[in-house]
Amino acid sequence: MLIVMKPDATQADIDRVIGIIEKLGFRGHTMPGENRTAIGITGNKGAVDPTHFENLPGVADAIRVTKPYKLISNDLRPEKSSIKVGNAFIGDGSLAMIAGPCAVESEEQVFKVAEIVAASGAKFFRGGAFKPRTSPYAFQGKGEDGLKILAQVRDQFGLNIVTEAMDERGVDLVVKYGDCIQIGARNMQNFSLLKYVGQTRKPVLLKRGLSATLDELLLAAEYIMSEGNYDVILCERGIRTFADHARNTLDISIVPAIRRVSHLPVIIDPSHASGHNYMVEPLARAGVAVGADGLIIEVHPCPEEALCDGAQALTPEQYSDLIVGVKSLHSTITKTTTTQPELQTA
Amino acid sequence: MLIVMKPDATQADIDRVIGIIEKLGFRGHTMPGENRTAIGITGNKGAVDPTHFENLPGVADAIRVTKPYKLISNDLRPEKSSIKVGNAFIGDGSLAMIAGPCAVESEEQVFKVAEIVAASGAKFFRGGAFKPRTSPYAFQGKGEDGLKILAQVRDQFGLNIVTEAMDERGVDLVVKYGDCIQIGARNMQNFSLLKYVGQTRKPVLLKRGLSATLDELLLAAEYIMSEGNYDVILCERGIRTFADHARNTLDISIVPAIRRVSHLPVIIDPSHASGHNYMVEPLARAGVAVGADGLIIEVHPCPEEALCDGAQALTPEQYSDLIVGVKSLHSTITKTTTTQPELQTA
Amino acid sequence: MLIVMKPDATQADIDRVIGIIEKLGFRGHTMPGENRTAIGITGNKGAVDPTHFENLPGVADAIRVTKPYKLISNDLRPEKSSIKVGNAFIGDGSLAMIAGPCAVESEEQVFKVAEIVAASGAKFFRGGAFKPRTSPYAFQGKGEDGLKILAQVRDQFGLNIVTEAMDERGVDLVVKYGDCIQIGARNMQNFSLLKYVGQTRKPVLLKRGLSATLDELLLAAEYIMSEGNYDVILCERGIRTFADHARNTLDISIVPAIRRVSHLPVIIDPSHASGHNYMVEPLARAGVAVGADGLIIEVHPCPEEALCDGAQALTPEQYSDLIVGVKSLHSTITKTTTTQPELQTA
Amino acid sequence: MLIVMKPDATQADIDRVIGIIEKLGFRGHTMPGENRTAIGITGNKGAVDPTHFENLPGVADAIRVTKPYKLISNDLRPEKSSIKVGNAFIGDGSLAMIAGPCAVESEEQVFKVAEIVAASGAKFFRGGAFKPRTSPYAFQGKGEDGLKILAQVRDQFGLNIVTEAMDERGVDLVVKYGDCIQIGARNMQNFSLLKYVGQTRKPVLLKRGLSATLDELLLAAEYIMSEGNYDVILCERGIRTFADHARNTLDISIVPAIRRVSHLPVIIDPSHASGHNYMVEPLARAGVAVGADGLIIEVHPCPEEALCDGAQALTPEQYSDLIVGVKSLHSTITKTTTTQPELQTA
């Protein structure tokens, strides 16, 4: 914490600030400048609340310095975490492909996609049984019946199941039928839910909220980890901005930014980020190029008949093309960087 | 729904679109223009999913026309709703004042504030027993013990209690001890929680999410109402933008925008919107002037010692000054507008 | 400037930073903390560029402390500036009303509006002769002919003319025919133009850019003032956000934020902020309530025939109603605040 | 244009709208729906101003359908434009590399960088002689002396010079000394300047404004082209959002979005987008992967001594590494896509 005094602050103002710092058990360091005095605080173990100072007479600003996270930090664990999801890994240097329909609609639809996904070499299958929809009148998912279909996909195709839970009952069911609990963007700061999944021992795919800062995303992961579940995979899926040519703005710069401070793996969701079929492949390529650990892609056997988000789903043919492209890109990057991409960017 | 065809769309492309519209049971209206053909859809009862059309050959764009909400709409109910909260009303033309500390910290702290709030003529008391905090290491609220203190405030001062619930257990407790369930900004699209509070018969104060559009806010209210709970009060508490002089950007324009389409009352939270003590009073005045039905204000007997959000809390003296100012403003507006402010803006 | 070192920074890293600070002629203050060392800089007269430090080994962050503005600051001039525009003042405690059509279309149109504006007691008339239009194919304004019409308005009605200039030729013409040079939002960081108007001795109405921070707005004013023209009036006209119910999001919190650091007067433009006729009056009221020094409002004798921005223009009747409302509001605020509104918020 | 009527609109309201449409010389198509009537407009050659309808009784909404641009459109020119800049091309399928320092500081600095840039195989050199700085007290560039140094670089190293102009005098000088006029983000809607560069016959590098939509960027290009200069190269350099881990948010999705509607080439600026040295390489890779026609990169012989934006400049070594990486990436993409990348995304 750094307290910046106003140019006209009196010595009494400065002494008052120092007094409060000492009352809190810390030490204040006065630095008189040309125009104004600044006061540094040391001795604190975590972040100090700026509140204590911001409205005191003579104080111009109180600036946080220490970051409030611990477990996500590569100060604690310098090498990247490799997370086991079912029988495969995310964050081990390979490109994790998670593919499937937006929503589980029927056994037939799901199996058609699963066959293609398995054939492409992907190890993870996505599909929603619980759908967070903006309108209460939109299709809300098939619930436990949908999860049972997904469990069949695992049995038959050997794919590991990534699927969303929206509440505690949903978490219990995903723990029972799936391999990885997805927390959606709209629940990224549903702290009760984060604590609950933190008490399970299933890996968690945590999607960035629509207006979440880097720190908020990392602290949401910290919520899960502070309950004892260390298997968290972060996911960038686009943020909300003024730009209207895509449904959201894919913020690829968060990948190197996460690498710089955290050991957690991060994947990219070009389908939800763009909302448009024609953008998915170029954004997927960009995600691989920026150094993401994987991609999550929506595929539908017949997008124009999808019950949910059909505009962004790839056809099976488009998905197969995409796979060829991103694999060769990933292999080029791995070759041209002497070390892992993420170290390159640190 | 309006389908806009590309300039080079063929007759076959147009016929394909018409075919799909008819397959969905609707009627297509072709409008050939100078450069491109547009196709209108009629016969649909709700919104049509643009997905069905967006990626078809020859289609340039699919534009939604019908709004997906019903119960919140003043098409359904032209006069504004007046919601009973405990023994008082929000939305009845008076200015509802909801005041109290950010978090319940102790009986002493809460009672000190409650005395001032009651003396000011306010009818509602706020205070959090469950606190949604960005960091898992920050103070998380006193839980049920906090709610018991709030229940004492009601008994002793006759104030109606507005307090947040973050999950189903919390909702059950707020139903037991409080008068109005607050749903925080970070839970505005926690659809499971919205449905759960929709099944209670306590009024709900629904805060706008940090990046929620008007439609998303209204549809979150629609979630609650579609479960049978019609007592929803909306709350603008600032949105997330690039601007860095306030913690959030208070979007007062949403008040007339809500009035234009919905009968639900709307209040303003200048404390969370600004994050700065010195901004609370001017923003509160603006909220009243724009036609809000009430204000929710943070007051703390000693802001610099608050466990949560002290920087934005008013001292008791500042709160008393604010009350004088906003009351005279509200009375001026009521006088100078021949009808209710909200009708003025319609 | 505060340099925060990484937890694993070595003594050599710290010494390197201190060395660079000293090489720049400043003094470094080392503050060893529990986890990491911070280094304060004193002896600098202005802002230090964080560039010098950000990429050095062992450096986690470089945080600016000193603000880079001088002339706009109320450190320099504590009382608010009252700016003379023609024969009247903006910032003198009265509510300055600037009204007129978006664009000058014809003598008839302009005179019709001017008559109403003058009758309402307003002292300033607005109207664009040079129009910054998003499309090159939209109406671009009548140029010098338009300015001549505005000059007639001044002669005939005694109204002071506020009108936009987009380039140097335009500035020369506005200096010749008008009373106040408006710099539009899209030119707020057209630094060449700012310097050019800084060399004139006409007052300048500087509109906030669509995505300008408080500091950027103040520094744009500083550009004008640093050339010797101290008569700058700031204008909030809405910022660009994700919200889609209004054309822009009116950020009223910038009014108290400006008051806290600057002596310059600030006015509100509810017409451009909202883009919708029905929102103009409630936003105008909010602007007055938050403590603005004036309003700029679009009025058109027949909005549906306007060549530019008709959707937001008020009819003469709506404008007259608005005037009654905001005047009584301004008078209430002036009475209920023992001092000027702006001091209240400091 | 589509006019959506309110559910309670009367036949008279509908007739009034039709009347105005016909008065404007167009044709109205009434489409009665279950809940509300919509009215389509045909016969218009360009966009119709929604203003004419938005505030009429019974009208709920007026929705634009036709896009207002012409010359930038691939309706007009389906194949991508290849722009000649000096003796080389941008948009011809190769990866255009534009590199150099942020600002021209001295002959020595510029020549040191130019040597590296030329050796890397790049064909374009960047460097600012006129610098748009947020503060009037920051280094503003060396002006014509800087341009003379750049002209020497061209003579000695055969590099084509891309450099910014901020006003008409600057344009004249860049036309004299340089090969491509850069229009900075803050001037993207300086329409007078756009028209002026449109009258030159030098190619223009047009940077996207900080909060410019796709349509606004395209219309800014249209301004230049409508004056007769068709050689426009678009540049994405990050937009302003709430996200604080990078200086701006690089919006790579605009590359496929531009491809879908326009024939103009588009390049990526990862240096200004990120503001951080460590992010430049991963973002550059992402730019190539998403299908951009080139990159513009800041390089400085000694970034910590740069007079401007040193935090984002690459060292010569980092730049050489980047070149190796992006070249192999570009070659992989060209191979794995049977056609040009841009067609892939259409």
DSSP-derived secondary structure for C166-218: -SHHHHHHHHHH-SEEEE-GGGTT-HHHHHHHHTS-S-EEEEPPTT--HHHHH
Q: Please, which chains are in contact with D (at least 3 CB pairs closer than 8 A)?
A: A, B, C
Are D252 and D287 a contacting pair, CB within 8 Å? yes
Number of Cβ pairs closer than 8 Å across A and C? 67
Give me the number of domains chain B comprises: 2
Residue C211: which of D49, D55, D210 has the nearest Cβ?
D210
Residues A199 and D12: their CA atoms lie apart, in Å, by: 64
What is the residue type of A137?
Y
Highest averaged pLDDT of the listed ranges A20-29, B5-14, B303-312, D20-29: B5-14
Q: Average pLDDT, stretch D36-55?
A: 75
The region of weakest confidence among B54-63, B333-342, C175-184, D102-111 is B333-342
Q: What is the 3-state secondary structure (H, E, C) of B92-158?
A: CCCCEEEEECCECCCHHHHHHHHHHHHHCCCCEEECECCCCCCCCCCCCCCCHHHHHHHHHHHHHHC
**Looking at residue A53, what is its pLDDT?**
83
Of B14, B33, B63, the one marking the end of a domain is B63
Given CB atoms, is D133 within the 8 Å cutoff of chain C? yes
Q: Is residue D108 part of a domain?
A: yes
Residue A310: which of B51, B304, B310 has the nearest Cβ?
B51
Q: Is residue C256 part of a domain?
A: yes
Residue A180, CA atoms < 13 Å, CB-side half-sphere: 32
pLDDT tens figures, A64-102: 766 778 899 988 888 999 999 999 999 999 999 999 999
Same domain membership, residue C268 and residue C192:
yes
The interface residues of chain C toward chain B in range 141-200, judged by CB-CB distance below 8 A, are none
Same domain membership, residue B127 and residue B96:
yes
pLDDT tens figures, D321-333: 999 999 999 999 9
Query: Which residues on A lie below 8 Å from B310 (Cβ)?
Result: 49, 51-52, 54
Same domain membership, residue C158 and residue C32:
no
Same domain membership, residue A238 and residue A178:
yes
Q: Is residue D73 part of a domain?
A: no
Q: Is residue B70 part of a domain?
A: no
The interface residues of chain D toward chain A in range 312-341, judged by CB-CB distance below 8 A, are 324-325, 328-329, 332-333, 335-337, 341
Q: Is residue D229 part of a domain?
A: yes
Number of Cβ pairs closer than 8 Å across B and C? 155
Residues B9 and A341: their CA atoms lie apart, in Å, by: 44
**Looking at residue C340, what is its pLDDT?**
39
For the cut 70, the answer to whether the pLDDT of residue C18 exceeds it is: yes
Same domain membership, residue B125 and residue B27:
no
Of D63, D97, D113, the one marking the end of a domain is D63
Same domain membership, residue C124 and residue C25:
no
Q: Which helix (H) or strand (E) holds C266?
A: strand C266-268
Same domain membership, residue B18 and residue B95:
no
pLDDT tens figures, D190-239: 999 999 999 999 999 999 999 999 999 999 999 999 999 999 999 999 99
Query: Which residues on B lie below 8 Å from C249 (Cβ)?
Result: 239, 241, 249, 251, 253
Same domain membership, residue A129 and residue A38:
no
Q: Is residue C77 part of a domain?
A: no
Which is higher by pLDDT, B126 or A24? B126
C31·A43 Cβ contact <8 A: no
For the cut 60, the answer to whether the pLDDT of residue C345 exceeds it is: no
Same domain membership, residue A184 and residue A120:
yes
Q: Which helix (H) or strand (E) holds B226?
A: helix B214-226
Query: Which residues on D lie below 8 Å from A290 (Cβ)?
Result: 282-283, 285-286, 289
For the cut 50, the answer to whether the pLDDT of residue D344 exceeds it is: no
CATH number of domain containing D31: 3.30.70.1140
CATH number of domain containing A245: 3.20.20.70
Residues B67 and B214: their CA atoms lie apart, in Å, by: 11
For the cut 90, the answer to whether the pLDDT of residue C146 exceeds it is: yes
Same domain membership, residue D243 and residue D106:
yes
Q: ∠ CA D253-D312-A255 to the nearest 5 degrees?
A: 45
Of A32, A63, A94, the one marking the end of a domain is A63
Q: Average pLDDT, stretch A157-167?
A: 98
Q: Is residue C76 part of a domain?
A: no
The interface residues of chain D toward chain C in range 189-228, judged by CB-CB distance below 8 A, are 189-193, 195, 210-211, 215-216, 219, 222-223, 226
**Looking at residue C339, what is its pLDDT?**
41
Same domain membership, residue D315 and residue D219:
yes
Residue D33: which of B35, B38, B42 has the nearest Cβ?
B42
Q: Which helix (H) or strand (E) holds D321?
A: helix D316-336
Q: For D27, which residue in chain B has the nearest alpha carbon?
A: B33
Domain interval for residue A49:
2-63
What is the ipTM metric for this complex?
Answer: 0.89
**CA-to-CA separations, B129 to B188, B189, B203, B234, B306, in angstroms, rounded:** 18, 21, 18, 21, 14
Same domain membership, residue A157 and residue A44:
no
For the cut 60, the answer to whether the pLDDT of residue B343 exceeds it is: no
The model's confidence at residue D341, banded by pLDDT at 50, 70 and 90, is very low
Query: Which residues on B lie below 8 Å from D32 (Cβ)?
Result: 42
pLDDT tens figures, B224-283: 999 999 999 999 999 999 999 999 999 999 999 999 999 999 999 999 999 999 999 999
Q: Is residue D116 part of a domain?
A: yes
The model's confidence at residue B32, banded by pLDDT at 50, 70 and 90, is confident
Among residues B208, B186, B198, the alpha carbon closest in space to that of B266 is found at B208
pLDDT tens figures, B79-104: 899 999 999 999 999 999 999 999 99
The region of weakest confidence among A13-22, A318-327, B111-120, C254-263 is A13-22
